[in-house]
Structure 1
């Protein structure tokens, strides 16, 4: 049976069931790990799915002290994600990784220390997989062996979760481990998420990780767009102005604001146009120019797609009120 024992005040030893052979016990109860902290500071839950594969879920309060080191008792592939908050992960052999909300990472390690940020709640989950279990999973997709990018080469891979992965991550954090139906749902969702990470298309690029400074910069980009609706913008000019590479600007912005740079800009322009038209002090052409459209027809089409009405119709409707 899966257990967790405290071996020292600053270290927690996690006992995992290894190997893909041996007695099958797929429905062992979830194990609440005793972290040695006062009640309410943090919770940790270990859910054993099958030999060599377990899920670890950790929630940390805003004012929690430093968590103890988690010792896995062997080398595991850890594939984890942050659902809320941010943290620095310290792995065995001195490796470290700074992670933020909606980011994932993957690394082979024997132990883990999680350093949360004061004033932030942290919700994190990770799947621990032995090399033997990993080989069995990968044989489904890669009969010839383990892909080079996930062999034990000491490197950390990671990036930003896409929309589908983010939804799976949310379910992994929220689904209960008690009850047969919930347990099967949690295991299936976790395996689906793991497959997304293990079987990324060959040649696909990881989304660049976004740190706290990058997030502040992206907020500045969003504010700048709101202040310059009448200007011509391009990804290249915005990246140059704010000191970001174009990939981080595009992908980081979409991750942070859940829309593309130009989708966000267009929404701002349409909302500002609605405000101008309600005031009824400007012609439609003047409104179009004020929100960055030099072509009135293009503005009218965009406005109708956003509101369902042509600009003139929208203006007349509010004038009648």
Structure 2
């Protein structure tokens, strides 16, 4: 089904999307699987796995009344969502190795995807989140009061590892030889951990509501240019000139919109690509390091370990479970 055809459909309630076992009918070349675990009233974990060979635009109606702490740990292709904000439609990119916080009572919008995605979301009712007594920054408080809250760009190695563990646990079943399924208490604890890591990543960050629509588009183009070649980053002056912004405004905008510095966004993207290539197991560590601009393998290993808390050579040995466990032990950095 084409994107145009999808847009013509009536908005689908999120409550239907997150029903455990949901699989949409999108025609040949598509796969869609939703796994949901309800931990208590007002708290669910939802895993969304889908592959769309052709672009799809799915109209949605958020009737969940929940705050969504969503992390995408696999993306091969493109995905984004868009919501009506006054007279214009605002677009928010979904990126691999990054998370978003979204909330909008009865909000309607479009979810766009082409390619493969694997995403884990902790959905929590605002009243339950308040009971957890976590430290919520003023900017997030303000954003949650909006009808169009969508704060993206949350990243850390520990957040990535926790998301991997949750996805791995939700794959377990009686037919899988992966040990005993995780208990509800373990899933609850990891859900609290993931939400707390989102809030930690937000410290000292501003609200994206302050970024104008024009500047948002300029910053999105600047990020696209920045990540065009992960072997060599453009200079800050070159990036600012091409985006039509001053250097201070560019750097400030990256912090506000992507929750990271310009170099931090670049470094995060190339480490994610490095991890993906190493997990495929067909290339040497030195080859991957060289392609990503590292002349010294030890410098690459240090950067990789700083991001994921594990040496890249361990991925070559096929120790994926060690990667997940070590990712929690080693604190990730932006």
Does the alignment reach a TM-score above 0.5? yes
- Once the 2 structures are TM-superposed, how far is the Cα of residue 116 of structure 1 from its aligned partner? 0.6
Answering whether residue 9 of structure 2 is matched by residue 37 of structure 1, we say no
Alpha-carbon distance in structure 2 between the residues aligned to 1:56 and 1:70: 16
Contact residue 100 and residue 151 of structure 2 kept, 8 A: yes
The answer for the alignment partner of 1:218 in structure 2 is 227
Alignment of structure 1 residues 138-217 onto 2, 5 Å = 139=133, 141=135, 148-149=141-142, 151-153=144-146, 154-176=148-170, 181-184=181-184, 185-200=186-201, 202-204=203-205, 211=220, 214-217=223-226
Alignment of structure 1 residues 233-248 onto 2, 5 Å = 238-243=235-240, 245-246=250-251, 248=261
Give the paired residue count.
232
Alpha-carbon distance in structure 1 between the residues aligned to 2:69 and 2:202: 17
Taking structure 1 as the reference length, what is the TM-score of the superposition? 0.57
SS at structure 2 position matched to 1:122: strand
The answer for the alignment partner of 1:52 in structure 2 is 42
Alpha-carbon distance in structure 2 between the residues aligned to 1:178 and 1:70: 29
- Once the 2 structures are TM-superposed, how far is the Cα of residue 156 of structure 1 from its aligned partner? 2.4
Alpha-carbon distance in structure 1 between the residues aligned to 2:101 and 2:145: 11
Alpha-carbon distance in structure 1 between the residues aligned to 2:90 and 2:239: 30
**Unmatched segments (≥5 aa) in structure 1:** 1-7, 17-29, 225-236, 272-321
- Once the 2 structures are TM-superposed, how far is the Cα of residue 36 of structure 1 from its aligned partner? 3.0
**RMSD across aligned positions (CA):** 4.1
Alpha-carbon distance in structure 1 between the residues aligned to 2:93 and 2:202: 25
Contact residue 74 and residue 119 of structure 2 kept, 8 A: yes
Structure index of larger Rg? 1
Taking structure 2 as the reference length, what is the TM-score of the superposition? 0.55
Change (3 A) 1:96 1:172: farther
Query: Which of 269, 275, 283 is the aligned partner of 1:256?
Result: 269
Q: Which has the higher contact order (CA 8 A, sep 6+)?
A: 2
**Unmatched segments (≥5 aa) in structure 2:** 1-7, 174-179, 244-249, 252-259, 273-288, 298-334
Alpha-carbon distance in structure 1 between the residues aligned to 2:238 and 2:90: 33
- Once the 2 structures are TM-superposed, how far is the Cα of residue 52 of structure 1 from its aligned partner? 0.8
Alpha-carbon distance in structure 1 between the residues aligned to 2:68 and 2:196: 13
Change (3 A) 1:177 1:212: farther
Contact residue 12 and residue 69 of structure 1 kept, 8 A: yes
Alpha-carbon distance in structure 1 between the residues aligned to 2:71 and 2:99: 4
Change (3 A) 1:195 1:175: same
